[in-house]
Structure 1
Amino acid sequence: MNFQYTEKSLELQSRLKDFLKKQILPADEEVEAFDRDPANLWIKWPGLEKLKDAARKEGLWNLFLPRDYGDFSPGLTNLEYAPLAELMGRTRWASEVFNCSPPDTGNMEVLARYGSPEQQKKWLEPLLEGKIRSAFLMTEPEVASSDATNMETSIVPDQGDYLINGRKWWSSGAMDPNCKIAIVMGKTDFDAPRHQQHSMILVPMDTPGLQIIRPLSVFGYLDSPEGHAEIVLESVRVPKSNLILGEGKGFEIAQGRLGPGRIHHCMRLIGMAQRSLELMSARATSRSPFGRSLDTYSSIRQEISRSACEIEQARLLVLSAADRIDRVGSKSAKELISMIKIVVPAMAANVIDRAIQIMGGKGVSGDSPLAHFYAAARSLRLADGPDEVHLSQLGKSTIRKYGQAND
């Protein structure tokens, strides 16, 4: 196991750091204020496209795609991309500038890996070009979606089409004004074996019968302009050619999608935690309650040192998972993927919470990124599978591995 980054990754890290310093951070306060303004709900910050054009010209585009895809992607491995995701994660809105935002990244990976040539031409290429955005519709409000086999959305053949009926929520990206396509997961055969009932299908957002009911907030944040929506699908008709890979392939596709996606989520969280560490360290040297600067208090030093240790531990664990996926695939890396999903969101939330405490009133306000960081970290203990599911699966496989060992 060698975590020495390749020259390709190091060179991209250097260019990305420079771009973030010169073009992203100077605009951060303006973007955050724009997105918080109720008058701007579901409206893109006007300077975004200019930054996207600049990033593309710099070759900082579609960095996430783990294989070469013509002129659209540099074809990085997960291990090469991981530090880039961390750098982007330091600023809430930065990933979109480089066309590396979820759920687009996962949807593009699905289409690149499983999509038909027709599907790739119609939907993947505009996504890779950053012309449109997308949504992923999996979670449902009426069932325990921590067990995805519970979902009730039906995808039923009807002549040369499929009819889709169901209700979804936490459909991230669906509120974006540029969202044009959704990948919907539902059941094509309710009587098939448990993990062969599900399929994934492409549904244009303007299809009759698809109705956005409401945006959902996360700890009060609407996350405009992307947002998270509750959506009803009522007799939504799409052609059979929109089915991805084939009937009953939904779980196969989901596993291929979620492995790299969890690497991306976790590295962005590490970026948030790292920036939080830097903010609390700077604060500790600039504030002097009771006649002493905060950095002279042992308790503050301990909180900062503990945070530094936890971030580095989590970073190495995620890099190990990325390396395993690159070498043997997501299925064989499932234990490490569960580990990072258990460890990293909790770590990030703890580190961010310490930073908030050290920052004081500024930490809970909109004058620092910490409150929004905390909301993101806490919600990711649920997204892509709650802690309890990963703990149960990891515990089961660990007991199977060691339970028969001699004392």
Structure 2
Amino acid sequence: MPANFIFETSAQLDIQKIRADFPLLATQVYGKPLVYLDNAATTQKPELVLRAIQDYYTQYNSNVHRGVHYLSQVATTAYEDARTKVAAFINAKHTHEVIFTRGTTDGINLVANCFGRKFLKAGDSILISAIEHHSNIVPWQMICEERGATLKVIPVNEKGELILEELDELLDDTVKLVAVTYISNTLGTINPVKEIITRAHQQDIPVLVDAAQAAPHLPLDVQELDVDFLAFSSHKMYGPTGIGALYGKEAWLNQLPPYQGGGDMIKSVSFKKTTYNELPFKFEAGTPSIAEGIAFGAAIDYLQILGIPNIQEAESQLYAYAVDALQTIDELRFIGEAKHRAASISFLVGDAHPFDVGEILDKQGIAVRTGHHCTEPIMQYFNIPGTVRASIAIYNTTEEIDKLVAGIKKAVTLLS
């Protein structure tokens, strides 16, 4: 049976107690304690999430939705409870506005495919920003090429902030949808998505927000944002890989054709005609990732225990500490210095290649990400091959930041 949990939320987070919830953080790398600062790529998983996966497979493993037997009903209840938790987490008006996907990339592809087939025609355009992840570039390029439409881009300045003075001009009659990231996975820039949504809606243009990097760090309220579509991934927020969620306003989802065909997304099938299922199942063909979906719900439980506002406050303090500490390294320069940033810090060290810095840090047990971070266009804008990216989570500490700084200083010495 799925476990029932009762939680108490404290405004004062005990980071060491939180760290004890994550077994992998006790790992040693090359004989040194792991310093895990690659959270923008994926986060570690607490015991609560790991236990949810194990409980499903050992206590009530069964397919969902169609079974009348006991195990199927238990599994279905647990899986749909997870959907309810996701809906509450983002304050969706209706639970059926939450579509389970394989992750943010899958959610964006779903909208690009379905919206494009329904509404995009030759001469139309899709508006994105210059700091998007490839997952919010390539799907739109593909559908634009297929439909004879074009891709337009909100430019960025040297700080990594969008130049919104050009937004009204870009929002012309050709734009059928705006797709922007909430937080840049590379620069950490927090985009003013509420303002973008408001200005787009003044032209009756719908907006999709890529919230992959925002979901674990900021409160998400789709009704307050008035966003039309919002996609995010479980594994960025302490849940398992292979599962995510797409929120869509009911009115929009009802207009879109299905993304894939198969079981569960139908009401009836004959060789002459198929009648599609209601929301959310219209977009969920085939056997879903059941264990992952249930564990996604457990990850949201965990975030709710801690409280997103508490997480935001603690991480903001750690982020400021990290920026100040890194500024003490003369050879280091930040890539992207937006006024409003969170989670990720990108930098270069002298003339050293990011890979070389990353390898030296790795030998000291420090996990960071190096490369273009699936954001090649912004690297081209800064005329660099990539960056070193350190990205924080709620379990990171000032002591780990100090180790990062010491590790970079060692890299400076070795690479000089």
Class of the TM-score when normalised by the shorter of the 2 chains: under 0.3
Report which of the two has the higher share of helix: 1
Higher relative contact order (CA 8 A, sep 6+): 2
Q: TM-score, normalised by structure 2?
A: 0.26
Q: Taking structure 1 as the reference length, what is the TM-score of the superposition?
A: 0.26
